[in-house]
Structure 1
């Protein structure tokens, strides 16, 4: 059901952009949904949608490739042990294997909460809800993230201690690292 800007719908759900609603329903990412709209593959009540600048309050009457869109399932969260050698992206332009290529086929479309780089391994959280992923990634949520790091070669103690003061990279302020310095220093003397 579309929402006209001049109608007041205080009793019902708040209108949202169609790309966001279809992404949450598992059709694809917002950008993928926008491409489907541009290709004329999304319809509302039998009428092809011409622009993603459309607000809706429900998925009723919406079809993609002629098939009705089902309501999004409740937000869910999965944990996944990411091995080294996989990238945390849905599509890699370099053709490398991705985390999403290795997930069980019975899972719905999921997105990662944060990323681990190609040579990292460890816990990666996956969810079917983009808003939940964004909330979990935001520094203001105050979640403490702990990492176990193994470095090969020689480390400069002064540079590593500077990380304990935080850093600014491309205008983004990163909180200080709080490593167990006594164990770290003992390992450096080694």
Structure 2
């Protein structure tokens, strides 16, 4: 019998500890499960051995011996990521990171997906790891839109064919909407939209069309737009807007 089908009196109290850690902004749910497996998480002084362990209101959760604060209300920010920053909290190569450049007044946040070093534009940030995971899933159905500058000979027919998906180096990519906006000599601007957003997907797909991406700007992620947000600026999305736009189970 699943938790959902049990009588209310028999259901565990609280929420799964991996989800608790994600909502507290400690990590994503997947990373929280890895931390549990590594023995880094304790509940009321006892090591946690399974991510299905439940946390109640008065429980004390420790990660690496340090207490984890009760998750704050879910918040979401728009950030205009400049080129030249990596989307990670700590870079082994010592490159500047997104999180080093954020205002110190922000709480600890994680990104919803990533933009690579030379990509720019809209990056959503949240204090809730469970929300980040939800919004990254293709099943959520949110479209990510980009303006892409490429160098090379653009074939509109080959761009249109991407709507059927593409297989590149043995990797299957889902449907991509791509169209030519303008062209000047060997340079062109494209509009690109996709739902998956795999690692360097647009660059790899364009390379398969003999096009080199020279600039990539994300202009929207689902219902949230980059708009006129200045480069490097952060703006919180109002709680009312967040409630209206998110899938109901995420709020």
TM score, norm. by length of structure 2: 0.57
Deviates more, 1:84-93 or 1:65-74: 65-74
Counterpart in the other structure of 1:109: 108
1:178 and 1:150, CA in 2 relative to 1: closer, same or farther beyond 3 A? closer
Counterpart in the other structure of 1:57: 55
Asked if 1 retains the 8 angstrom alpha-carbon contact of 2:23 and 2:131, the reply is no
SS at match of 2:146: coil
Rg larger in 1 or in 2?
1
User: Once the two structures are superposed, what CA deviation does each residue of 1:23-42 show, in whole Å capped at 9, x if it has no partner?
Assistant: 32234455368548856673
Asked if 2 retains the 8 angstrom alpha-carbon contact of 1:87 and 1:96, the reply is yes
SS at match of 1:178: strand
CA distance in 2, matches of 1:114, 1:97: 18
CA distance in 2, matches of 1:172, 1:129: 30
Name the Cα RMSD after superposition: 3.4
After TM superposition, the structure 1 = structure 2 runs for residues 19-58 of structure 1, keeping only pairs within 5 Å, are: 19-30=18-29, 31=31, 35=35, 38=38, 42-44=42-44, 47-49=45-47, 51-53=49-51, 55-58=53-56
SS at match of 2:123: strand
Counterpart in the other structure of 1:175: 175
1:67 and 1:59, CA in 2 relative to 1: closer, same or farther beyond 3 A? farther
1:107 is displaced (CA, Å) by 1.8
After TM superposition, the structure 1 = structure 2 runs for residues 1-190 of structure 1, keeping only pairs within 5 Å, are: 10-11=8-9, 16-30=15-29, 31=31, 35=35, 38=38, 42-44=42-44, 47-49=45-47, 51-53=49-51, 55-64=53-62, 68-151=67-150, 153-157=151-155, 159-169=158-168, 171-179=171-179, 181=180, 183-184=181-182, 186-187=183-184
Counterpart in the other structure of 2:227: none
CA distance in 1, matches of 2:38, 2:115: 33
Deviates more, 1:100-109 or 1:28-37: 28-37
Asked if 2 retains the 8 angstrom alpha-carbon contact of 1:59 and 1:70, the reply is no
SS at match of 1:150: strand
1:176 and 1:161, CA in 2 relative to 1: closer, same or farther beyond 3 A? same
User: Once the two structures are superposed, what CA deviation does each residue of 1:26-76 show, in whole Å capped at 9, x if it has no partner?
Assistant: 3445536854885667341xx331534461132523143666543211111
TM score, norm. by length of structure 1: 0.71
1:29 and 1:120, CA in 2 relative to 1: closer, same or farther beyond 3 A? same
CA distance in 2, matches of 1:105, 1:93: 22
Unaligned runs of 5+ in 2: 188-251
SS at match of 2:100: helix
Unaligned runs of 5+ in 1: none
1:81 and 1:113, CA in 2 relative to 1: closer, same or farther beyond 3 A? same
1:146 and 1:38, CA in 2 relative to 1: closer, same or farther beyond 3 A? closer
The number of aligned residues is 178
1:172 is displaced (CA, Å) by 4.0
1:188 and 1:144, CA in 2 relative to 1: closer, same or farther beyond 3 A? farther
